[in-house]
Structure 1
Amino acid sequence: MTSGALPANPFVAAGMIEDPRLFVGRKDELHAIASRMQGVQPTSINIVGDKRIGKSSLLYHFFLTWEQRVQEPSRYIVIYLSLRKANCQTETGFYQEVANCWRSRVSKWQFPLNNPLNPRSWNRQTFSEAIRQWKQQQVLPVVCFDDFESLFDYPQEFNDGFYDNLRSLIEDNALMLVVASRKSLKVYGGEYRFVSSFFNIAHCISLAELTTDEAIQLTRLPTGSTHGAALSPDEQNYVQQWGQRHPYKLQLAGSCLWEARQTGKPIKWAKQQFDQQIDVPPSEKQQWKWRSWLYFIFVAVPKRLGNFTKLIGVTVDDVSSWIIGTAIVVMFVLVLMRVLDWSQVWDFVRDQLGISSDE
């Protein structure tokens, strides 16, 4: 549990929430993890959700607070590991990283292992033996894996045999996994053509936006310098308007408004900062760019060209006006491609506008 004063700015605009006092909501999801952890047959869990929806914060918060949620904490050892940040490009490296997390959670090993601090001693067999020795002592290792899809970048290292071994440990009630990923493990199994039944073993929890009450609670976070909320009631309303119920957007809106207050900037400045920092995937930005160009070429330009007919007194409806404008754009392109010449385009325009060739 984190101690000491709260940060001046309580809104975490980037990254996961590491201070449990600033974590809001997700009570049902936290209860679901703890209850499946304490079952006669512990059930592994797959937390699924879009980017920035709070998967990492939820996983890390459970790691920090699990002892308050279960009976007989001595029966469990819980660790958190981000596979995107860890040195997990090889199977051996994977086991070593997990072992390092174990070592940081216990004062000494409760069972004999061959050189447990030596990376060369860690392989599939020694990892499985360590897990099963814990089971003999009635201790359940619970591993919270963040960014699990990072393993799929190394299919030759993390193959069906690797996943089958994990499933065997899970089915033996010797290991429980809490896995965070953008898509479900079942979907990834199909996409990467794994045949291991590991990808069907976890209970899936889909992470959605916060509830309205949770979103309101987030806007009222305090700072270390005051007993009240960091933002005024009006600023809290702006946070809810801009962020709706999305965790990341709410945090970003709160951070921008808090910074505006501290620096004497207006609300308009905070809104500009918020709009600029909204994280849009590059692929989505590219889609927006193409849509803008397509709209400009096939809607905006034809509409303006078609409206020109109305300015000179020709009566046409909006659809006919757009069709005329589109035809002019297409003919212009054909002129550039040397399929038509300008005289043919002018003849078409005169015909549509009813202008005599003698005029």
Structure 2
Amino acid sequence: MPNPFFYGGRVNPEQFVGRRAELQRIFAGLEVAHTGQLQSFSVVGPRRIGKSALLFYITNKFAAYLMQPALYRIGYIELQDANCRTLGGMLEIILKQLGVGQLSGKKTPLVEFQDAIIELKARGVFPVVCLDEFEELTAHPDQFKPDLYDSWRYLINQEAITFITASKSPLIDLAQDRGPTSPFFNVFSHLPLGELTDDEARELIARGAECDRPFTSTEQSDALLLADKHPYKLQLVSSLLYQAKADNRVVDWAELRREFVTQLQSVGLEADMGRTLKQVGRPTKEGEPTESVTRRARFRTFSSVFAFALYALAIALMIYSRNAPNEQQWVVIIAAVFVLVGIVLTLISFGVIPINDSERTV
């Protein structure tokens, strides 16, 4: 079985997890297309947060969300593609993705594109264009001039097309950096993309329990502590954990943490050093992971408090025994038991007695 986790690029739609709120909002905006109220979205978020994966998933799985998917043509365009470096090249790629065909060259590329989209509308088809890495357009004003955005705004006004864009900065900011702003940039619903929810992060990690090298519950918890809810970090730590479990090898968490940090730095992301160094279970001399530090700390705190309570009860019983009119031997025995249990709990709270086998030294 291949590694079920992938962090090297855009996630395959079959491996896509989460983004329920964002998908619900986008498809709710597309579902009203038959009323003529087309809604465009601008997905904005930092690098490696999953913008490309979201747009690619929408392109490939829209039929599962829309009531009448046959009415839609949804195309995904990666604007870093060399074929999208010119206006004609980009418009032709869009038309191919929408199943329209190629530019004939009889008119200017922009006029041909506009006519093709209007023709789709006349046939009752709703084209949705997903533009990934929108910065590539505004960064090349010599190729993508205001006429392009004016034409697209015209098509939006004609309720003939809708756009879903992905960028690191809001579209209005990208446009203002290049001079006067076209009205095109004012029609988008802003959709910020951040980390996954708690449930979505756990769902992603839990996939490791169903693979051929199943993750234990402790391994899932420690991986989640290391990566938090960032989708790229979750895919990365899960992939590294899967690789470490190859051939029944024992997981060396110290080595896994080092590789995790190195991989993050190679793509310009930072690791939360508090999580990386403190919260994830350390390896023993055999390299086995321990229970999470947080869980052990809570148990030791409880042991310390309970030991104090037992000492107090033992003292109270001894005072009662001395003041009792008759000798109370059973009281002394109970007090002694309380003291012994309190001593054991005190040793646990100070770490002298290990909580589990993974804390024992050899």
Task: Normalising by structure 2, report the TM-score.
Answer: 0.69
Secondary structure of 1:99's counterpart equals helix
C-alpha distance in 1 between matches for 2:267 and 2:255: 24
1:193 aligns with 2:179: yes
Deviation at 1:238, TM superposition (A): 1.8
CA shift for structure 1 position 42: 0.8
Spell out the pairing of 1:15-164 with structure 2 (5 A cutoff). Answer: 15-20=9-14, 22-39=15-32, 40=35, 41-103=37-99, 116-117=101-102, 120=105, 123-164=109-150
Distance 1:259 1:66, change over 3 A: same
What are structure 2's unaligned runs of at least 5 residues?
A: 271-362
Match of 2:309 in 1: none
Q: Secondary structure at the match of 2:131?
A: strand
Give CA deviations for 1:35-79 in whole Å, capped at 9, x if unaligned: 111223111100000001110111111111101111111211111
CA distance in 1, matches of 2:269, 2:104: 39
Q: Secondary structure at the match of 2:42?
A: strand
Q: State the partner residue of 1:347.
A: none
Which string of whole-angstrom CA distances, capped at 9 and with x for unpartnered residues, describes residues 183-221 of structure 1? 110111111223211111100100011111111111011
Q: 1:34 offset after TM fit, Å?
A: 0.9
Matches within 5 A, 1:136-285: 136-222=122-208, 226=212, 230-262=214-246, 264=249, 265-279=251-265
Shift of residue 119, structure 1, vs aligned partner: 6.0
Instruction: Single out whichever of 129-138 and 188-197 deviates more from structure 2.
Output: 188-197
Q: 1:15 to 1:214 in 2, by over 3 A?
A: same
Give, in whole Å, the separation in 1 of the partners of 2:98 and 2:111.
Answer: 17
Deviation at 1:85, TM superposition (A): 2.4
CA-to-partner distance for each residue in 1:235-266, whole Å, 9 max, x for gaps? 11121111111111111111111111115251
Aligned residue pairs total 265
Distance of 2:59 and 2:91 partners within structure 1:
19
Counterparts of 1:57 and 1:49 in 2: how far apart (Å)?
A: 12
Deviations 1:88-108 (A, max 9, x none): 1111111111122223xxxxx
Where has structure 1 moved over 2 Å in runs of 4 or more? 116-122, 222-226, 279-284
Q: Is the 8 A contact 2:71 2:126 kept in 1?
A: yes
Cα distance change, pair 96–147 in 1 and its aligned pair in 2 (3 A): same
Partners of 2:214 and 2:206 lie apart in 1 by 7
For the residues of structure 1 that align with 2:269 and 2:246, how far apart are their CA atoms?
35
**Whole-angstrom distance in 2 between the partners of 1:246 and 1:262:** 25
Secondary structure of the corresponding residue to residue 28 of structure 1: helix
Q: How far, CA to CA, are the matches of 1:155 and 1:117 in structure 2?
A: 24
CA-atom RMSD in angstroms:
2.2
Q: Do the aligned partners of residues 230 and 81 (structure 1) sit closer, same or farther apart at CA in structure 2, a change above 3 Å counting? A: farther
Note the C-alpha offset of 1:125. 0.5
Structure-1 residue corresponding to 2:3: 9
Q: CA deviation at 1:280?
A: 5.9
Distance 1:33 1:86 in 2: 28
Q: Measure the CA separation in 1 of the matches of 2:70 and 2:269.
A: 47
Letter in 1 for 2:9: G
| Preserved contact between residue 10 and residue 230 of structure 1 (Cα < 8 Å) | no
Partners in 2 of 1:250 and 1:283 — Cα distance?
13
CA distances 1:5-29 after superposition (whole Å, capped 9, x unpaired): xx52111122111142x21111111
Distance 1:213 1:119 in 2: 50
Matched position secondary structure for 1:38 = helix
Opposite residue 256 of structure 1, the aligned amino acid is L
> Is the contact between residue 76 and residue 139 of structure 1 (CA under 8 Å) also seen in structure 2?
yes
TM-score (norm 1): 0.69
Q: Name the SS for the 1:173 alignment partner.
A: coil
SS at match of 2:5: coil
Asked if 2 retains the 8 angstrom alpha-carbon contact of 1:88 and 1:151, the reply is no
- Answer yes or no: is the 8 Å Cα contact 1:81–1:146 preserved in 2: yes
Question: Deviation at 1:118?
Answer: 5.0
Partner of 1:311: none
What residue number does 2:342 align with? Answer: none
CA distance in 2, matches of 1:16, 1:85: 14
Gaps (5+ residues) in structure 1? 1-6, 104-108, 110-115, 285-359
Percent identity between the aligned chains?
A: 31
> How many Å separate the matches in 1 of 2:25 and 2:196?
16
Measure the CA separation in 2 of the matches of 1:138 and 1:213. Answer: 39
Counterparts in 2 of 1:267 and 1:283: CA distance versus 1, 3 Å: closer
